[in-house]
C-alpha cells in the first residue's frame, strides 16, 4: 500500500521561496504521520519545477516560466519514470497526494496563470487515471468518535465503528476507552476524563457522532456543539428509522451542523476514504 506524494511534503525546500506557511508545514507533518501510523509507503514524485528552474526560486505561474517545449519534454520523461515505478510495484497507488495551488502538483487548484484556477497542475494532469487528494485533506485523519457508551450494546457498536474507520486509515479516539467507566468513579476522575476528552476534541480533525435513539445522547450532543463552535468538520450517523418531522430525523440543530449518513458503510465515503467502500 503506497501513495505518490509531492516531494515538498517531505522536503518543503522544494517549494518556491517564501510561499510555505506554518499551516502548510503542519499539514505536511500530519500527512507523514498518517502514512507512518498506517504503514503507507510514501513514494515521492520528482519535482519538475526544481529540476527545471532550480531550488530557492521565486514564485511564478505555469504561463510565466513553464510553458515551454523544454518543460513539456521534461514532463514526458518524468511521467515515464513514475509509470515505470508503478509497474514495478505491480499495484496502483492509493492516490497522489499533491499541494494546493502548485503549477505542477496542484490537485484542486493551480496557478496556471497569475490567477489561481480550478484543476490539476501540469504534472499531476499527466495522471488522470490516478485519484489525487490535496495534502490538507489527506492530513485530516484524526477522528473523535462521539456516541452513547453506557450499555454493552452501545460499547460494542462503537468498537465496530472504530475498527471500520481504522481499516480506512483514520486514527480514532474512542471516549469509552478513557478512564473509569463505573458509576462509582470519583469527582477527580470526572475532571480528568473531561479534560482528556476536551483535549482530544481540540486535536481531532473530524468528529463522527452517533445520533441514534428517540433523542440523541446528551453527551454526544454537547460534543457536537463544541466541535461545531470550534470549526471542526462533523459527520453524524443515524441508522434509526424514526423521525420527528417531515424534514427532521432527530434534531435540526444536530443535523444542520453535520453531514448525516444513515448506514455505517457510508461513513468512509463521507469522510473521503482512499479505499473502496468494501475495504
Give pLDDT tens digits for 1-11: 999 999 999 99
Give the per-residue pLDDT at 158: 94
Give the per-residue pLDDT at 279: 44
Q: How many helices (H) and strands (E) does the chain have?
A: 10, 11
Residue 180 has pLDDT above 60, yes or no: no
Cα 64 from chain centroid (whole Å): 32
- The mean pLDDT of 90-102, rounded to a whole number, is 93
In this prediction, what percent of the chain has a pLDDT beyond 90?
77
Residue 81, all three cell numbers: 519514470
- The mean pLDDT of 217-232, rounded to a whole number, is 94
Q: DSSP 3-state assignment of 260?
A: strand
- The mean pLDDT of 183-187, rounded to a whole number, is 71
How far is 181 from 243, CA to CA, in rounded Å? 31
- For residues 233 and 207, the answer to whether their CB atoms sit within 8 Å is yes
> What average pLDDT does the chain have?
92
Give the per-residue pLDDT at 67: 94
| pLDDT tens by residue, 104-163 | 999 999 999 989 999 999 999 999 999 999 999 999 999 999 999 888 999 999 999 999
The pLDDT-based confidence of 174 (bands split at 50, 70, 90) is: very high
Radius of gyration of the chain (CA): 22
Q: Please give the backbone phi and psi of residue 116, each rounded to the nearest 5 degrees, phi first.
A: -65, 135
Give the per-residue pLDDT at 253: 87
Residue 36 has pLDDT above 60, yes or no: yes
- The mean pLDDT of 172-187, rounded to a whole number, is 78
How far is 104 from 227, CA to CA, in rounded Å? 35
Residue 211 has pLDDT above 50, yes or no: yes
Residue 178 has pLDDT above 90, yes or no: no
In this prediction, what percent of the chain has a pLDDT beyond 70?
96
Phi-psi sector, 265: left (phi>0), alpha (psi -120 to 50), beta: alpha
Residues 6+ apart with CB under 8 A from 135: 5, 6, 9, 27, 28, 31, 97, 98, 99, 100
Phi-psi sector, 144: left (phi>0), alpha (psi -120 to 50), beta: beta
Residue 67, Cβ neighbours under 10 Å: how many?
14
Q: Please give the backbone phi and psi of residue 117, each rounded to the nearest 5 degrees, phi first.
A: -135, 160
- Of 63-67, 171-175, 196-200, 252-256, the one with minimum mean pLDDT is 252-256
Beta-bridge partners for 146: 209
The pLDDT-based confidence of 243 (bands split at 50, 70, 90) is: confident
Amino acid at each position: 500500500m503506497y501513495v505518490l506524494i509531492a516531494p515538498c511534503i517531505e522536503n518543503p525546500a522544494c517549494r518556491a521561496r517564501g510561499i510555505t506557511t506554518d499551516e502548510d508545514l503542519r499539514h505536511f507533518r500530519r500527512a507523514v504521520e498518517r502514512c507512518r501510523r498506517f504503514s503507507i509507503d510514501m513514494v515521492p514524485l520528482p519535482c519538475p519545477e526544481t529540476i527545471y528552474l532550480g531550488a530557492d526560486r521565486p514564485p511564478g505561474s505555469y504561463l510565466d516560466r513553464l510553458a515551454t517545449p523544454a518543460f513539456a519534454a521534461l514532463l514526458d520523461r518524468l511521467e515515464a519514470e513514475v509509470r515505470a515505478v508503478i509497474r514495478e510495484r505491480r499495484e496502483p497507488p492509493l492516490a497522489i497526494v499533491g499541494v494546493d495551488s502548485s503549477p505542477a502538483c496542484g490537485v484542486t487548484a493551480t496557478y496556471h496563470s497569475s490567477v489561481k484556477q480550478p484543476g490539476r497542475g501540469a504534472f499531476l494532469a499527466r495522471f488522470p487515471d490516478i485519484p489525487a487528494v490535496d495534502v490538507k485533506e489527506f492530513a485530516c485523519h484524526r477522528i473523535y468518535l462521539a456516541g452513547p457508551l453506557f450499555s454493552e450494546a452501545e460499547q460494542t457498536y462503537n468498537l465496530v465503528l472504530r475498527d471500520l474507520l481504522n481499516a480506512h486509515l483514520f486514527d480514532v479516539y474512542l471516549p469509552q476507552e478513557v478512564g473509569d467507566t463505573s458509576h462509582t468513579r470519583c469527582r477527580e476522575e470526572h475532571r480528568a476524563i473531561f479534560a482528556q476528552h476536551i483535549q482530544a476534541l481540540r486535536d481531532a480533525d473530524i468528529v463522527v457522532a452517533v445520533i441514534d435513539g428517540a433523542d440523541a445522547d446528551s453527551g454526544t450532543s454537547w460534543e457536537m456543539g463544541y466541535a461545531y463552535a470550534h470549526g471542526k468538520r462533523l459527520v453524524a450517523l443515524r441508522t434509526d428509522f424514526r423521525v420527528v418531522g417531515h424534514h427532521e430525523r432527530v434534531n435540526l440543530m444536530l443535523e444542520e451542523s453535520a453531514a448525516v449518513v444513515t448506514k455505517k458503510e457510508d461513513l468512509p465515503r463521507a469522510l473521503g476514504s482512499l479505499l473502496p467502500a468494501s475495504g
